[in-house]
Amino acid sequence: MKQIPGGICAAQGFRAAGVHVGVKTHNTQKKDVALIVSDVDCAAAAVFTTNVVKAAPIHVTKAHLADGTARAVICNSGNANACAPQGEENAERMCAAAAKAIGCAQEAVMVASTGVIGQTINVKVIEEGVPALYAGLERSDAASDAAAHAIMTTDTVKKEVAFEAEIGGKTVRIGGIAKGSGMIHPNMGTMLCFITTDCAISAPMLDAALHQVARVSFNRISVDGDTSTNDTCLVLANGLAGNAPITAPGGDFDAFAAVLTALCTALARMMAKDGEGAKHLITCTVTGARDEGQAETIGKSVISSTLTKAAIFGCDANWGRVLCAMGYSGETFDPERVDVAFRSAAGEIAVCEKGRGLAFDEDLAKKILTEDEVVIAIAMGEGSGTCTCWGCDITYDYIKINGDYRT
């Protein structure tokens, strides 16, 4: 397995584009609609938000995905099309416009939106912009870049990555783009993620791989504790790599799942690091837990703790915040077996041993926590369970960004 350029266009047979059509009215330089198209029909699978309140595009995409196939994805930013008048009708109109340009069935187009909730989407400007969007489709780094920027809202950097690996004696490529900066919490969080691969794999196996991988990647990040109405992760596989189709568990399925895990983990880390206003990426590693489930629950509790986030923002080695978050996680454990350390590129420092504070160099601790990527290492001393979760600090800028987001 190796990382390669190309993003969403790295796999054979996929083209993409991103343009400004006018959904975003405050800045005509910002792209606001993306289109991703395969040359041939694809096996497809998706995971969606766990929020009971779901945006119209999710209902439409779920219906279109019922047969496990897809040809394209159209996505806008600037308006979530959630809890809005004519929501599903407008989502279907987006699909219809894309299908007409591509020459495929409307049900073969998946749709997603991100942005402000509760406002009617200007679907007319999207319909009028689709011909130019379709005409701009390319298989290139620039095309993937344009699509990645077109789905961004409060993101400060694009999220894009691709890998290739040998599966079944063939070179298989997989690439993805994602957006997510705020409203990020375990069990998906305001994120959109589109993944393309030329691997030949059946829809049921693709679905199994995606659910397996989402659990250990996207479901282990948190920015602010809010789960969005629009979260969607969609994978399209067109089979053009020419490998023997993966139709059952086995070595080839495991190899595909490993590459998908690498890709989704990379995108998840990018989202956590780009949390709204964030200055630090926080990685929480839990080892020595009773089992993986206990490790995951505790890791999620720590990265979701507002007080822990605030301490990291202030470069304050306040390890008590960590133990406190562990204690209200809902898991039972023996606090007198817990060790805690902070680690970064500047070094490592132990701050807690067997549930008791250690004397440590505050200046060194501050230096370690000043780095933009910080690890909170927790050793439970109870078993062999492990888990890694990702989050970010909370800063003054988070309030500024969200205080007037709608207006």
Gap between the Cα atoms of 166 and 188, Å rounded: 29
Tokens representing residue 298 in the block:
């505790």
Considering only CA atoms, which of 330, 376, 389, 327 is closest in space to residue 349?
Answer: 376
Q: Position of tokens 């004397």?
A: 359
Tokens representing residue 246 in the block:
């993966």
Considering only CA atoms, which of 281, 278, 272, 262 is closest in space to residue 345?
Answer: 281
| 343 Cβ neighbours under 8 A, 6+ residues apart | 349, 368, 374, 375, 377
Q: Which residues are identified as catalytic? A: 190
Is residue 48 within 8 A of residue 235, CB to CB? The reply is: no
Provide the strand spans (E) within 21-169: 33-48, 69-79, 109-116, 159-167
SS (H, E, C) 293-334: HHHHHHHHHHHHCHHHHHHHHCCCCCHHHHHHHHHCCCCCCC
Q: Position of tokens 């020595």?
A: 288
Q: 373: which strand partners?
A: 281
Q: Residue 303 is which amino acid?
A: I
Gap between the Cα atoms of 229 and 384, Å rounded: 36
Gap between the Cα atoms of 168 and 189, Å rounded: 34
Gap between the Cα atoms of 262 and 376, Å rounded: 21
Tokens representing residue 272 in the block:
């956590």
| 89 Cβ neighbours under 8 A, 6+ residues apart | none
Is residue 161 within 8 A of residue 267, CB to CB? The reply is: yes
Q: What are the backbone angles phi and psi of residue 221, rounded to the nearest 5°? A: -120, 155
Q: Residue 170 is which amino acid?
A: K
